[in-house]
Copies of this chain bind each other. A is one copy, B any other.
Amino acid sequence: MDFTPRDPDFEAKVRSTFEEQPFMRLIGAELVSVAPGTCEISLAVRPDLSQHNGFVHAGVTNAIADNSAGLAAFTLMPPGTDVLSVEFKTNLLAPARGRRLIARGRVEKPGRTLVIVRSDVYAETDGSEVHVAMMQATMICLVSPPPRPYGRP
């Protein structure tokens, strides 16, 4: 599998794309690491992110899984393109609780137009990790992306 980035500035591109997402700021997500074909996002658990049992809402868990998967795909896309989620499928494995969630996205099959990805989300409590969600998804590379309204050229 060829994970050579076609954009030498892939890391800066991924980091700025993450920073430009107001929803990631709203939930307090942070970009932990970026490398060719992978991306990690962490989230401090907060009460206002929970569902009716006090666990992190599946929508939040899925949002960081989707972002880690999409940005993992974006690391391999050429300059001047953008990434969009075509679809994702997520199994919820255990209640998402603890101090912090971490989503680890990785490319499974890179392609010129479509990139197939997976992401696994873990909940950290006292140093141990519980596997709380797993996603399999399809990302698309847009060659004529829409303009970005939040300041990126």
Contacts and interface: CB of A to CB of B under 8 A. Distances in A.
A93 interface: yes
Interface residues of A, number: 58
B148 A59 contact: no
Main secondary structure of the interface of A (DSSP, over half): mixed
B63 A62 contact: yes
B63 A48 contact: no
Contacts of A60: 23, 59, 63
A63 B62 CA distance: 8
8 contacts: A26-B26, A53-B148, A89-B89, A89-B90, A94-B109, A109-B131, A136-B136, A138-B138
Contacts of A17: 52
